[in-house]
């Protein structure tokens, strides 16, 4: 049953569809055409995007600390205004330098409106539902971003060209996300001395040397599993075309990913009360690797391509939930926003090179080899995941270690 306490997560979920669609997925369709008009190579254009992602990663800890201190309402509202103006500015780009500045601002602003800040924002609200449930709801909506925006952006480009398409996307971002962030997050935020109304799960947090070890291996695994995320969002259409499919069919297969992200997240919501986030993350990695295995073997056929997109979509959808709930389970809610920010800083700082690296691999060796390297990254993510300590196996923590403060 949907209650008033579900509304902030539902609102933020809707804003994530538009935020990711305009600030991430649109590049896969428009950036190759912009590169042609600006005289840039494919790897050069995506190299600029990599720099933008790196800059965004630098700002992620700032966004997280602001949410911890002030709550997410004004952080996300002002962030959506700046992000919309940056997207609008992409329509006026006439040089490589102009493209660089516009993408830099857009990806920097994105760190104030996308998943990490949304997760930290709902975790700060005084609600009757636990933070992990709100995080699952947010990601449930976000899964359809590629389904909507890859075909939509392709249709807009075909009818209007890339300049007008960026104008449309910027206006949509401004008039939809700004009011959503302002009104959805107006609920009171919890304070350090306030007792929460919700009952938190009884999950012990890592302590002592295990805490440091857990953080290291979790971040390394996140880096490997996230390294291919930016590449898939930006190069899926190009790589699938290189496997022998048309642009329309590549976009259709990409659109399949979104619904199955939602399917995976819905299944996670059904079992989330009994599924510890470490298991959630393991399930996501297994599904993603299965998707790439099918893609490499059968991706030249239409059924193989669609099955691969479905498996990858389910795994990636669940992984997004784990990205928010696993740090909460392993380390507790104190400083949760700042912690997500620092994780994003490290992850995006290293993963920012992915669009450039995979664009170079595609340009040099072809789309199949580009997908192969992505599969290797997933194997590395699984190997490092296995080294994350499970705090439930070491019940030596004190009662204070086990107690979950108010914004869990």
Q: What is the pLDDT along the chain (408 residues), one digit of tens a residue?
A: 677 888 888 999 999 999 999 998 899 889 999 999 999 988 788 889 888 988 988 898 899 889 988 888 899 999 999 999 999 999 999 999 999 999 999 999 999 999 889 988 988 887 777 777 888 888 877 767 877 888 899 999 999 999 999 999 999 999 999 999 999 888 666 554 444 455 455 677 788 888 889 999 999 999 999 888 777 877 888 899 999 898 888 888 887 887 888 888 888 777 766 678 899 999 999 999 999 999 999 999 999 999 999 999 999 889 988 888 899 889 887 788 888 888 888 887 787 778 788 888 988 899 899 999 999 999 999 999 999 998 877 655 433 444 433 333
> Which overall architecture, per CATH, does domain 4-189+204-394 show?
Up-down Bundle (1.20)
Residue 393 DSSP label: G
DSSP helix/strand/coil, 125: strand
Q: What count of other Cβ atoms lies within 10 Å of the Cβ of residue 397?
A: 16
- The residue extents of the domains of the chain are 4-189+204-394
8 Å CB contact between 136 and 269? yes
Please state the pTM of the whole predicted model.
0.74
CA 231 vs CA 47, 50, 180: distances in Å: 11, 10, 29
Distance CA 102, CA 79 (A): 15
DSSP string, 215-255: HHHHHHHHHHHHHHHHHHHHHHHHHHHHTT--HHHHHHHHH
């Amino acid at each position: 049953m949907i209650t008033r306490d579900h509304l902030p997560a539902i609102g933020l979920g809707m804003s994530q569809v538009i935020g990711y669609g305009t600030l991430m997925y649109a590049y896969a369709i428009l950036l190759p055409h912009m590169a042609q008009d600006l005289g840039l190579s494919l790897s050069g254009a995506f190299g600029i995007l990599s720099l933008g992602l790196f800059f965004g990663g630098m700002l992620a800890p700032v966004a997280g600390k602001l949410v911890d201190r002030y709550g997410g309402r004004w952080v996300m509202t002002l962030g959506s205004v700046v992000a919309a103006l940056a997207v609008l500015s992409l329509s006026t780009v006439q040089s490589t330098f102009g493209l660089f500045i516009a993408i830099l601002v857009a990806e920097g602003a994105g760190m104030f409106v996308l998943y990490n800040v949304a997760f930290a924002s709902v975790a700060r609200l005084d609600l009757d539902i636990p933070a992990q449930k709100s995080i699952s709801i947010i990601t449930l909506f976000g899964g359809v971003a590629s389904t909507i925006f890859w075909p939509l952006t392709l249709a807009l480009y075909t009818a209007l060209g890339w300049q007008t398409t960026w104008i449309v996307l910027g206006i949509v971002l401004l008039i939809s996300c700004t009011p959503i962030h302002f009104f959805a997050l107006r609920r009171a935020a919890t304070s350090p001395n306030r007792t929460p109304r919700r009952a938190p799960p009884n999950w012990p947090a890592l302590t002592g040397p295990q805490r440091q070890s857990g953080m290291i291996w979790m971040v390394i695994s996140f880096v490997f599993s996230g390294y291919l995320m930016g590449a898939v969002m930006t190069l899926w259409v190009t790589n699938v075309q290189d496997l022998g499919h048309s642009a329309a069919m590549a976009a259709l297969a990409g659109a399949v990913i979104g619904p199955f992200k939602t399917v995976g997240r819905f299944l996670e919501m059904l079992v989330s009360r009994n599924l510890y986030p470490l298991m959630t993350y393991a399930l996501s990695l297994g599904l993603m690797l299965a998707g790439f295995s099918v893609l490499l073997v059968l991706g030249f056929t239409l059924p193989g391509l669609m099955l691969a997109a479905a498996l990858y979509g389910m795994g990636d959808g669940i992984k997004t939930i784990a990205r928010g709930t696993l740090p909460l389970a392993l380390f507790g809610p104190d400083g949760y926003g700042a912690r997500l920010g620092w994780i994003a800083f490290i992850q995006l700082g290293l993963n920012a090179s992915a669009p450039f690296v995979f664009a170079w691999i595609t340009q040099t060796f072809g789309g199949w080899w580009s997908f192969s390297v992505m599969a290797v990254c997933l194997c590395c993510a699984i190997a490092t995941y296995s080294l994350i300590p499970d705090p439930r196996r070491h019940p030596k923590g004190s009662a204070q270690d086990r107690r979950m403060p108010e914004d869990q």
